[in-house]
């Protein structure tokens, strides 16, 4: 069973940056797409960024950059120019194909809290 563990969350001031990491226990990690989502209180889970097995990336928000290190079985999310509205629990997810839809991802981490103060 795949385990995903996020780290790097915390408290940051508005305008600051954070770098989240996700460590995966999956065999053949390089064969999987990875993604980041977030969920704020009272809101639906929101897609942030995804990276394909070959390293192709997509994010609708240019402040967020996803990357992966297949040798270390990790994926990271670099977040810049953070705003209070970015406060949420951030999740990484693993799946067979790159997608913006959460249903395509079969394994999820437990989440890491990001709080942006004004």
- How many other CB atoms sit within 10 Å of the CB of residue 118? 9
Q: What is the tens place of the pLDDT at every residue in 100-109?
A: 999 999 999 9
Select from 84, 53, 91, 48 the least CA-distant residue to 66: 48
Q: What is the tens place of the pLDDT at every residue in 31-62?
A: 999 999 999 999 999 999 999 999 999 999 99
Q: Largest Cα–Cα distance in the chain? A: 41
Q: What is the mean pLDDT of the chain?
A: 97
26 pLDDT higher than 90: no
What pLDDT, on the 0 to 100 scale, is given for residue 1?
A: 83
Beta strands 10-13 and 112-117: pairing type? parallel
């Amino acid at each position: 069973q795949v385990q995903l563990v996020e780290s790097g969350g915390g408290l940051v001031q508005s305008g600051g940056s954070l770098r989240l990491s996700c460590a995966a226990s999956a065999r053949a990690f390089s064969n999987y797409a990875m993604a980041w989502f977030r969920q704020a209180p009272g809101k639906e889970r929101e897609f942030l960024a995804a990276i394909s097995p070959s390293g192709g990336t997509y994010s609708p928000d240019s402040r967020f950059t996803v990357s992966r290190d297949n040798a270390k079985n990790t994926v990271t999310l670099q977040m810049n120019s953070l705003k209070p509205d970015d406060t949420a629990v951030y999740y990484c997810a693993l799946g067979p194909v790159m997608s913006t839809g959460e249903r395509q991802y079969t394994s999820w981490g437990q989440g890491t809290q990001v709080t942006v103060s004004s």
